[in-house]
């Protein structure tokens, strides 16, 4: 880090122990400490020994305090560096926002050259006048706070400033032209703010700039030609902005550049040939733009090149090209670049390769033995046409941490030694043609976080028994041929367990509840028997519970009320009896969209230096919106033997989109309260014994697209108004006891006639049953089911959380 080396320089130049700092500076620092403490003393029980400021006390010379560096060469011994990063972070798990006024005393220490107050949850605007005082600053790090407002011009008048870090705040506005005053600036990092517009021309006045990062802002328009004047530039990071233009040929003038990262913009055109003049280029990151043309072979002759990311463009690959690389790559992404034929053999010459992404091409043939021997950290070959078995050699790797081979046609059994690869964190083998048992040795992979074996032909009734302390959070074995009892020995950390579409039988084991953080349990389409597993209500984190199409009997227990985050409950096609518990109407997850849900997708944002490997697992592939879990709140109790009246409390489920209680034995009338389910899009009450008339309140349901009340004993006028006027499919009203209305072109008599006798009506029901079935909204159900089966879908995390998670995940590396 630049700071460390700068500090080291400052220290070697200046630091001689035992000296005394100016009294007014010591007072200022003590004032700062006391301001800082006051935030916490008044607010919570706090432990002052955790701030890292314990040594700051009146009895000592401030040059000897921790986090303080003085210039001991100067007779006054002024304070020149303050390392105040992460003092709040160290303090609590539940961080408190500190206001920027806490910094005020520091602005009296005018001799400061280095000030780092990063990662402190400081909020409010950046104090303008204060920083105007610190004219000697060379290094200023304000990143990872909650500063808002615009960047004060005063910062740009600090003429000695060389390193400026403002990343991860909530700053706004266009970069000020005044930045041009900072003639000594060497590093400018403004990433993850919300800056927009064009990069100001004046940036070219920063002639000493070496590192420029404007990552994750909203800069748009043309590529700033002013940036091309920065001759000293070593690192240019403009990722995640809105730049839309061609990469200019003049890029070749940045002769000192070693990192050029332009990914996730809207760049068009070809990779300019002048790039080959960048003899120091180590990292070229152009992923996820709209670049086109053939990938130039000279890229592989650039001797310094180490990291090449070209995926996600409209680039093409000349499959006849014979490449003799002169570079030694450590990371290579050529995803969706049109590669065909076998995996290119020249890759085997890249002995230090650590990351290889060739997904979404047209590659065929076997998994190359040389690749299995190369000790690559991440191998991503999903969405190709590769065949054959996986060489056991691969799992003797000491480096393999990500293996993604989903959606190929690999076959055969998984090597029994798979558990030897104990660095694997992500193993995705979905939708291949693997057979045989799931190797029990997988349980030895302690760092495994995600295991997706779905859509294969795995069989047998032996399973890896994972350590409860393991990290494994996501398990998908669905759509295989597994049998025996449902395995329950997974990690306590498990968040998603998907075992649907197998041949599991027997009753569920209570040990399932050891997964006390489970959010998503999917066991549909198996042969699970026994009573409804009441113990599931001991897992209050459940958001999705799918037990569809099993052989469960017994009642739906009242304790289901404990599952307050439940958004999807599907127990259809079982043999459940009894009535619907009243408390089902209190399920908060279906009443209001909880926004506190933990979010699965952020776990898959791995920071791999210049490529955020965004393993979106299922949802990106399905092309579904990432909001689906929030959108879909579903309650499906259909095809059971449930009876009794429908509790009016169901009307509380304001967030419910789909309610299906068809094919049961419910009697009584349709509750008036159904008119309160504001979000309802589909309501299926068919094939029950409901009587009375359809409540007029249903016309309040403005989202309603499907209403099926067929095969009941309803009578009277079908309500009019709102969406009810569009419900004109007679099949959805068929086989009742005298419904009328304009929707089905049956005029209502002045005085509605009483229902017909039981006998004749039952006959009629039976008679027309087949016909009604044809009209059943199969398409709709199918689509909900597909969303359900494939949609392990979680809302995108708010930027702040994502950032933090990324930090913590990167600790795994």
Ligand X SMILES: *[C@@H]1O[C@H](CO)[C@@H](O)[C@H](O)[C@H]1NC(C)=O
Q: How far apart are the first and last CA of the chain?
A: 18
Q: Is residue 205 near ligand X by the rule CB under 6 A?
A: yes
> How far apart are the C-alpha atoms of 604 and 616, rounded to whole Å?
6
Candidates 196, 221, 248, 252; binder of ligand X (CB under 6 A) is: 252
Is the Cβ of residue 574 or residue 682 nearer to ligand X in the bound state?
Answer: 574
- Choose one: 54-62, 438-446, 531-539, 600-608; the region binding ligand X (CB under 6 A): 54-62
Please give the torsion angle defined by the CA atoms of residues 407, 408, 414 and 415, in that order, rounded to the nearest 10 degrees. Answer: -130
Asked if 489 is part of the footprint of ligand X (rule: CB under 6 A), the reply reads yes
Please tell me the distance from the alpha carbon of residue 593 to that of residue 693, in angstroms, as a whole number. Answer: 31
Nearer to ligand X, 375 or 612 (CB): 612
Q: Which of 2, 89, 245, 621 binds ligand X (CB under 6 A)?
A: 2
What is the β-pairing status of strands 79-83 and 68-70?
A: antiparallel
Please enumerate in sequence order all residues whose Cβ is within 8 A of that of 58, keeping only pairs 6 or more positions apart, or say none: 26, 30
Task: Verify binding: residue 57, ligand X, rule CB under 6 A.
Answer: yes
Query: Could you please report the per-residue DSSP string of 143-168?
Result: -SSEEEEPPPGGGGG-TT--EEE--S
| The binder of ligand X chosen from 89, 304, 488, 768 (CB under 6 A) | 488
* DSSP output for 197-227: EPPPGGGGG-TT--EEE--SSEEEES--GGG
Question: Which x/- pattern over 136-175 shows residues binding ligand X (rule: CB under 6 A)?
Answer: ------------xx--------------------------
* Residues 352 to 411 in contact with ligand X, rule: CB under 6 A: 409, 411
3-state secondary structure of 87: coil
- Phi and psi, residue 469, nearest 5°: -90, 0
Binding test (CB under 6 A) with ligand X, winner from 9, 76, 90, 231: 231
Min dist CB 135 to ligand X, Å, is 10
Which listed residue (101, 314, 641, 726) binds ligand X by CB under 6 A?
A: 314
Q: Which is nearer to ligand X, 425 or 429 (CB)?
A: 429
Q: Which is nearer to ligand X, 43 or 74 (CB)?
A: 43
Kindly tell me which of 143 and 682 has the beta carbon lying closer to ligand X.
143
Residue 139 three-state SS? strand
Least distance in angstroms from the C-beta of 142 to ligand X? 14
Length of the chain: 813
What does the alpha-carbon distance between residue 432 and residue 342 come to, in Å, rounded to a whole number? Answer: 18
338 binds ligand X (CB under 6 A): no
CB of 290 to ligand X, least distance (A): 6
CA-CA-CA-CA torsion sign (373, 355, 411, 416): positive
C-alpha 200: how far from chain center: 33
Count of C-beta atoms within a 10 Å radius of residue 301: 14
Q: Considering beta carbons, is residue 187 or 660 the nearer one to ligand X?
A: 187
Least CB distance to ligand X at residue 402 (A): 24
- Which stretches of 451-534 are DSSP H helices? none
User: Shortest distance, CB of residue 397 to ligand X, whole angstroms?
Assistant: 26
Q: What is the DSSP string of 241-271?
A: SEE-SBPPGGGGG-TT--EEE--SS--BS--
What does DSSP say about strands 520-522 and 739-740: parallel, antiparallel, or unpaired? unpaired
Extract the tokens encoding 612: 């955020």
CB of 65 to ligand X, least distance (A): 8
Measured from the CB of residue 445, what is the shortest distance to ligand X in angstroms? 20
| Minimum distance from residue 185 beta carbon to ligand X (Å) | 11
> Minimum distance between the CB of residue 675 and ligand X, rounded to whole angstroms?
41
Q: From the CB of 205, what's the least distance to ligand X, in Å?
A: 4
Which residue(s) pair with 505 in the sheet? Answer: 527
Residues that bind ligand X (CB under 6 A): 2, 38-39, 42-43, 54-55, 57, 59-60, 96-97, 104, 107-108, 123-124, 129-130, 133, 148-149, 177, 180-181, 187, 202, 205, 210-211, 231-232, 234-235, 252, 255-256, 258-259, 273-274, 277, 290, 292, 314, 409, 411, 433, 481, 483, 488-489, 503, 505, 509, 511
């Amino acid at each position: 880090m630049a700071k460390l080396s700068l500090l080291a320089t400052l220290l070697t130049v200046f630091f001689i122990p035992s000296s005394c700092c100016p009294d007014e500076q010591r007072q200022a620092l003590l004032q700062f400490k006391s301001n800082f403490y006051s935030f916490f003393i008044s607010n919570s029980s706090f432990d002052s020994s955790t701030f890292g400021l314990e040594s700051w006390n009146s009895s000592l010379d401030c040059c000897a305090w921790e986090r303080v560096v003085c210039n001991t060469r100067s007779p006054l011994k002024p304070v020149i560096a303050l390392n105040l990063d992460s003092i709040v972070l160290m303090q609590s798990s539940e961080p408190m926002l500190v206001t920027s006024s806490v910094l005020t005393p520091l602005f009296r220490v005018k001799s400061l050259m280095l000030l780092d107050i990063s990662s402190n949850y400081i909020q409010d605007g950046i104090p303008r006048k204060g920083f105007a005082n610190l004219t000697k600053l060379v290094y200023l790090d304000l990143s990872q706070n909650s500063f808002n407002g615009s960047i004060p011009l005063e910062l740009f008048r600090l003429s000695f400033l060389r390193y400026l870090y403002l990343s991860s705040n909530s700053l706004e506005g266009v970069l000020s032209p005044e930045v041009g005053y900072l003639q000594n600036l060497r590093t400018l990092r403004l990433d993850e703010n919300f800056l927009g517009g064009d990069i100001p021309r004046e940036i070219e006045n920063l002639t000493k700039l070496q590192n420029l990062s404007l990552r994750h802002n909203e800069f748009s328009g043309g590529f700033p030609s002013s940036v091309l004047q920065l001759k000293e530039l070593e690192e240019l990071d403009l990722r995640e902005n809105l730049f839309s233009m061609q990469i200019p040929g003049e890029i070749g003038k940045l002769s000192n550049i070693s990192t050029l990262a332009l990914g996730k913009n809207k760049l068009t055109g070809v990779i300019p040939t002048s790039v080959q003049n960048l003899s120091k280029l180590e990292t070229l990151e152009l992923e996820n733009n709209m670049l086109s043309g053939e990938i130039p072979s000279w890229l592989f002759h650039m001797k310094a090149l180490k990291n090449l990311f070209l995926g996600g463009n409209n680039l093409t690959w000349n499959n006849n090209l014979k490449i003799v690389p002169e570079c030694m790559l450590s990371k290579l992404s050529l995803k969706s670049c049109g590669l065909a034929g076998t995996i290119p053999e020249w890759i085997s010459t890249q002995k230090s390769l650590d990351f290889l992404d060739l997904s979404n091409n047209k590659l065929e043939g076997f998994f190359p033995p040389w690749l299995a021997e190369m000790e690559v950290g991440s191998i991503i070959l999903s969405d190709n046409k590769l065949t054959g078995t996986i060489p056991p050699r691969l799992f003797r790797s000491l480096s393999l941490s990500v293996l993604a081979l989903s959606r190929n046609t690999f076959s055969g059994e998984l090597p029994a030694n798979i558990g030897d690869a104990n660095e694997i964190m992500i193993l995705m083998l979905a939708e291949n043609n693997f057979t045989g048992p799931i190797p029990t040795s997988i349980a030895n992979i302690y760092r495994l976080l995600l295991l997706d074996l779905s859509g294969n032909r795995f069989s047998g009734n032996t399973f890896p028994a994972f350590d409860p302390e393991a990290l494994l959070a996501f398990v998908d074995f669905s759509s295989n041929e597994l049998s025996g009892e449902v395995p329950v020995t997974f990690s306590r950390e498990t968040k998603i367990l998907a075992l649907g579409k197998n041949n599991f039988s027997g009753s569920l084991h209570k040990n399932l509840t050891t997964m006390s953080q489970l959010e998503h349990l999917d066991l549909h389409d198996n042969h699970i028997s026994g009573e409804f597993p009441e113990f599931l209500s001991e897992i209050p984190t459940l958001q999705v519970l799918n037990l569809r199409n099993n052989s469960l009997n017994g009642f739906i227990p009242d304790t289901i009320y404990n599952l307050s985050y439940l958004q999807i409950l599907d127990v259809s096609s079982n043999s459940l009896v009894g009535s619907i518990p009243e408390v089902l109407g209190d399920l908060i997850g279906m009443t209001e969209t909880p926004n506190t849900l933990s979010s699965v997708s952020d776990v898959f944002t791995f920071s791999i230096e210049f490529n955020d490997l965004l393993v979106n697992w299922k949802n990106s592939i399905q092309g579904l919106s990432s909001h689906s879990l929030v959108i879909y709140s579903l309650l499906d109790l259909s095809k059971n033997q449930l009876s009794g009246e429908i509790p009016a409390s169901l009307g509380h489920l304001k967030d419910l989109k789909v309610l299906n209680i068809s094919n049961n034995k419910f009697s009584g009338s349709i509750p008036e309260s159904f008119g309160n389910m504001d979000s309802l899009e589909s309501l299926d009450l068919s094939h029950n014994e409901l009587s009375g008339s359809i409540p007029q309140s249903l016309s309040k349901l403005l989202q309603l697209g499907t209403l099926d009340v067929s095969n009941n004993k309803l009578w009277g006028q079908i309500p009019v108004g709102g969406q009810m006027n569009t419900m004109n499919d007679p099949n959805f009203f068929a086989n009742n006891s005298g419904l009328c209305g304009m929707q089905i072109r049956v005029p209502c008599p002045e005085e509605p006639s009483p229902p017909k006798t039981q006998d004749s009506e039952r006959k009629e029901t039976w008679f027309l049953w087949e016909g009604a079935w044809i009209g059943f909204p199969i398409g709709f159900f199918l689509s909900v089911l597909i969303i359900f089966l494939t949609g392990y879908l979680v809302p995108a995390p708010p930027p702040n959380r994502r950032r933090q998670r990324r930090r913590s995940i990167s600790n795994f590396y």
